[in-house]
Structures are given as structure tokens and as C-alpha cells.
Amino acid sequence: MHGQSVTVTSSPGTVNQSYLEGGKLPAAQTLAVNASASGATYTATVAPTGNTTTAEWLTLSSSSGSLPASVVLYSNPTGLDAGTYTASVTFAPAVAVPPGTSGVTNVKLIVTEPLPTLTLNPTSLTFSAASPPVTPQTVTLTTTEGPVAFSASAGTSAWLTVSPASGVVLPAAPVTLTVSVNASVLGANLVAYTGRVTLTELGAASKTQTIAVSFTLNYQQPTVSALWPPTGKAGAGATTVTVFGTNFGSGSVVNIAGPPRGSPDYGIREPHGSQRCDSGVATGIGDGVIA
């Protein structure tokens, strides 16, 4: 082209991108390339700028063509270390007299390392005991990246505790959590008690993790050591009987049974009834002796 100077423009003039190592590639960016005169053509080149030594991570959908044009910019930072990278994309008009003016889009790419993550082992705990005390169990916290600060809580489960309540895990310094169960505040139960320990992490990819905890307090054979009163009066109304013993739980049942006695003043009517015991001292209402 002779006799007319062509000015090429590219929009946007600046492209900023970010990339997390191991994550998704930056989205493609479309550049609008225009010329001040019709019939102009362009040639595109990509070059590193600043302290960046290579621009091979940056490519274009087309390196030449007629104007106006839409050119797609692709970034592939895979393999780049964490840091800041810059490059320029220059759209030069075809050689002409007088020479034309090129359009330039500057690209800035910031590559970051993944945030540190916390690994729990194990992720669940199962306790089982017939009576207190219950042996504590442990969970190991590790990380392969930078330090991870955490807090640990057993929530509203009064029978469950965790220690330490906070700390910092380093790549070469794992932390051991001790999880304990206080069975003395629980009664024997056929269904396991369940709870969880929640870890809240700071500066980690996974902000919250949980450790599931289940505890079964097994039944022991209940034993009866004494009754009061030991007898009932014939013809009397309902009698309250106190049962003394051990290992009574929410599932313990006291049965009223026994044959009549020959005393003219005291006797037991035919056996009937039962009473569920919720503690070491059970109160039964009915006639008879407790078997």
C-alpha cells in the first residue's frame, strides 16, 4: 500500500490473567483488530516483555490476515513456576510507504501455587465399651504444603472432647488430635451415640473437615442386691418397691413375680407387672417380690 499510512489498533489493549497450578487454564480472550483504512492486512507476533524469558505459553488463533479481524488469544501456563509473566502481542500493518502504526495488546499472567491442604487419618472413629473409662483414640493431621492453622471442636456433644483445640500443621511436623469419650454422662443404649469433631482450617483449600464419631456403651448384666420393702401386706393397695443394684440402664426391666406366702398378716398376690429401671435405684409399683 502506497501513499497512505495505516494505523492498526487492537482491543483490549491490556489482558490480565491468573492461573492456579494444576487448575483450569485461563479463559480464551478475543481481541478486536481494526485498521484506519480499508483493505489493510496484518501480521501478528508474540514476544516476552520485562523479566519474562519466553512467550511460548501464549498463542493466537491467527498470525496474519485481513482487517478488521477477531483474533483469539490462548494461554497455556502448564509447567510454569509460580510468578508473574508478561508478553506483548503486536499487530503490524503490511509494509507500506509511509510506514504504518502497529496495534499492541499487553498480556500479564500471574501463576500461583495451590493453597495448602490438610489431610486427616482416620476420618472416622468408633468407640465401644462396657463401662468407663473409655480408651481415647487419635487422629493424625498432615500437610504437604505450607503451614495450616486449625481449630478443633466437638460441638454440642457433652460426652465428646478433642485436644488440642487449635494448632499449626507443618509439612515436617504433623499434629496428633486426641479424641476422648466420657461414658459416665451416658446411659447404656442399644443404639450407638453419634457425634463429630469439626476442624476449621485457615489458609487451606478445604476450609472445614469433619471426623465422624460413634460410641456404643454396651450393656452389662444388671444385678439386684436388695429390695425395700422385702414383703407386701395381703389386701393392701399398690406397693412401691425400691430395687437396689448395679448396671441398671434405660433398657433394664424389673419383673414383679412370686407365689403367695402363708403369713396371715403379709402375703403376695399373684405375680403381675413390670418396671423399667433408669438408674441404679429402680422404683417398681405393684404387688409381689421382684425377681
Domain ranges of the chain: 8-112, 119-217, 223-290
Q: Is the pLDDT of residue 286 over 60?
A: no
Q: Are strands 124-129 and 148-153 parallel, antiparallel or unpaired?
A: unpaired
Residue 210: strand pairing partners: 198
12-31 mean pLDDT: 96
Tell me, which fold does domain 8-112 have in CATH?
Answer: Immunoglobulin-like (2.60.40)
Instruction: Give the amino acid at 103.
Output: G
| Mean residue pLDDT across the chain | 84
Q: State pLDDT tens for residues 267-276.
A: 333 333 344 4
pTM for the structure as a whole: 0.54
pLDDT at site 145: 79
Of 70, 86, 92, nearest in space to 11 by CA: 70
266-290 mean pLDDT: 39
Q: Is the pLDDT of residue 222 over 50?
A: yes
pLDDT at site 272: 37
- Give the pLDDT band of residue 189 (cuts 50, 70, 90): confident
Q: Is the pLDDT of residue 191 over 60?
A: yes
Q: Is the pLDDT of residue 20 over 50?
A: yes
115-134 mean pLDDT: 89
32-61 mean pLDDT: 96
Least confidently predicted of 46-50, 83-87, 96-100, 156-160: 96-100
Of 233, 253, 232, 258, nearest in space to 243 by CA: 253
pLDDT at site 22: 87
119-217 classified as CATH 3.40.50.970? no
